[in-house]
Structure 1
Amino acid sequence: MTQQNDPLERIVTAYADAFSHLAGATTGRTRRGAHGSVLAVSGAPTAALNMIVSTTREASVEEIIELADAERLGEEGPPWSIRVRGVPGPEVTAVAARYGLTRHEREPLMLRHSDQGVPNGPTPKDFHVRAVPVDELHVYARTVADGFEAPPELFQVLADPAVGNIDGMTFYLAELGGVPVGTGMTATAGDVAGIFNITTLPEFRRRGYGRATVSEMVRAGHMAGAATSYLYAWDMGRRVYESLGFRTEEYLTVITAPD
């Protein structure tokens, strides 16, 4: 199936490429199959940053096996995931289970199209979003972990200076009076901007900071020539994204090992 008949394939490919670039900068462990599967292993101790992604509607089971075995995934090393579009077929489910991946979660792919322009809305008082220089990536990584309420070591890979030099990838701190209260990240590929790592620290939630951060990410994409924005949403933020004009186009199934 061509991308003309599957317009979302280029979006999912941009998503997979973002993780491939991250893995390329940190470990060099990234591979690409001939049938649309992308392997990206950043080395972080979380399945959120190590994966095989199928960018086509019909995942190639053979290619998933080939990539997983080539990198010896599941034998040793960090947790990882298999990510496929829509509902995985029984063959994908069986192969994932062979590697111990039996937990299935759905993440909505949400798009905000170029004809919607730049979002409007008030910016909270004393609130500011700024790009993070390489020498502050350690602050960014710590704030991401705090925003996700996760151990710091899960996202320490984001403090690697090499990550700050990835072309098209920009890391942001959301600050209130100069104090970090949240994060964001954009990965620009042509006319498409991916939005990642939107967090707000627990004590600062429900004050509009998350919405303001996403608005700034969309504006940053427009300024970079990427007027179409996409993200994979968590339930917590879905209403915020919808209020900014994002709409669910399809779902990604993330298959991981059980906790």
Structure 2
Amino acid sequence: MDETDELLRLCVRALVAQMGDVPGVEMRLTRDCVLGLTGEPSADFNRLTLGADPDAEGFLISSVARAKERGLPLQAVMCPGVLEALTPVARRLGLTAVGTSPLMVLRAGTPVAPSRPVRITRALGPELVTIAGDLAAAAFDTSRDAIARCIDVCVTKTAGVETWIAWDGDRPASTVTVTPTGDTAGISLMATPPEHQRKGMGRALLTQVIDDYRRRGMARFHLGATDAGLPLYESLGFETVAHLSAWILPGPSAGQG
């Protein structure tokens, strides 16, 4: 198994951990593919990952059928190994290609230059979980109610999803989520609201979190980058191992008005 396929399997596990406690979530998965439907009217909360599964086409067809049956938009990513075969299928099913999502990895031994120290705390308990959710909603310009239903509920001590907050003095400024699996951890939901951006808060938080996990034995870190986050991750030593093809299935009301 090459590194891309291995990391995609870890992404599948991370998505299961992140969505597992969402009330009413519908999940279907194999080792290499996962569908998670929260029922929210935003594609950001209905996710499909297609790795190098022998029946990735069947998984794609059944997943899109289920999303359409429920009247939900869907966000999908495909690994390079299945892209050629699945592209015509995806288009026939009504998905639209919207670019790529770099799959990045920070390997053991890659030095990460320390940033300015900030106070960080793990989001546990109602007050801190609410603060982390507020930061995510502001950073992503997303409904706070949707964040509460789909993210806040999964931030618990035993969920396998660990969320951290960085503080600028006494003000919460940035948050990030880590999903450990063995000696490899997934990084996601890196969120810094506009009023705290360009102050180095995200960098400070991520470098301290990486350093802390490395001291506890974590060897690698992986993430799916956005255009906005790519320069930060590259500057920290993350390398792109694959460009995942990104697709959107619009909801039934898209384009109406």
Q: Deviations over 1:198-256 (max 9, x none)?
A: 12111221111111122123124324432201111111121111111111111111211
- Structure 2 CA distance for aligned equivalents of residues 13 and 51 of structure 1: 15
Partner of 2:201: 209
Q: Deviations over 1:16-75 (max 9, x none)?
A: 2111122321134222236x2222223344322322211228872122223444xx2122
- Structure 2 CA distance for aligned equivalents of residues 25 and 91 of structure 1: 33
Query: In the alignment, is the contact (CA less than 8 A) between 1:101 and 1:257 conserved in 2?
Result: yes
Query: In the alignment, is the contact (CA less than 8 A) between 2:25 and 2:39 conserved in 1?
Result: no
One-letter code of the match for 1:231?
Answer: L
1:115 equivalent to 2:106? Answer no
Query: In the alignment, is the contact (CA less than 8 A) between 1:188 and 1:224 conserved in 2?
Result: no
Which residue, out of 145, 164, 176, partners 2:137?
145
TM-score by length of 1: 0.85
3-state SS of paired residue (2:3) = coil
- Structure 2 CA distance for aligned equivalents of residues 79 and 57 of structure 1: 23
Matches within 5 A, 1:90-101: 91-101=85-95
3-state SS of paired residue (1:25) = coil
One-letter code of the match for 2:234?
Answer: E
Partner of 1:128: 119
In the superposition, relative to structure 1, how do residues 221 and 57 fare at CA in structure 2: closer, same or farther (>3 Å)? farther
- Structure 2 CA distance for aligned equivalents of residues 242 and 90 of structure 1: 28
- Structure 2 CA distance for aligned equivalents of residues 123 and 87 of structure 1: 40
| Root-mean-square deviation over aligned CA pairs | 2.4
Unaligned runs of 5+ in 2: none
Shift of 1:80: 1.5
3-state SS of paired residue (2:69) = coil
Matches within 5 A, 1:156-235: 156=148, 157-160=150-153, 162-235=154-227
TM-score by length of 2: 0.85
1:31 equivalent to 2:28? Answer yes
Partner of 1:76: 70
Identity %: 25
Partner of 2:8: 12
Partner of 2:241: 249
- Structure 1 CA distance for aligned equivalents of residues 224 and 187 of structure 2: 8
Shift of 1:158: 1.1
In the superposition, relative to structure 1, how do residues 76 and 182 fare at CA in structure 2: closer, same or farther (>3 Å)? same
In the superposition, relative to structure 1, how do residues 252 and 217 fare at CA in structure 2: closer, same or farther (>3 Å)? farther
In the superposition, relative to structure 1, how do residues 99 and 74 fare at CA in structure 2: closer, same or farther (>3 Å)? farther
- Structure 1 CA distance for aligned equivalents of residues 235 and 67 of structure 2: 39
3-state SS of paired residue (1:122) = coil
- Structure 2 CA distance for aligned equivalents of residues 114 and 37 of structure 1: 26
In the superposition, relative to structure 1, how do residues 89 and 234 fare at CA in structure 2: closer, same or farther (>3 Å)? closer
One-letter code of the match for 2:13?
Answer: D
Partner of 1:106: 100
One-letter code of the match for 2:8?
Answer: V
- Structure 2 CA distance for aligned equivalents of residues 91 and 10 of structure 1: 20
Unaligned runs of 5+ in 1: none
Which residue, out of 222, 239, 258, partners 2:231?
239
Query: In the alignment, is the contact (CA less than 8 A) between 1:50 and 1:79 conserved in 2?
Result: yes
Query: In the alignment, is the contact (CA less than 8 A) between 1:25 and 1:163 conserved in 2?
Result: no
In the superposition, relative to structure 1, how do residues 151 and 244 fare at CA in structure 2: closer, same or farther (>3 Å)? same
Shift of 1:10: 1.8
3-state SS of paired residue (1:75) = helix
In the superposition, relative to structure 1, how do residues 68 and 166 fare at CA in structure 2: closer, same or farther (>3 Å)? farther
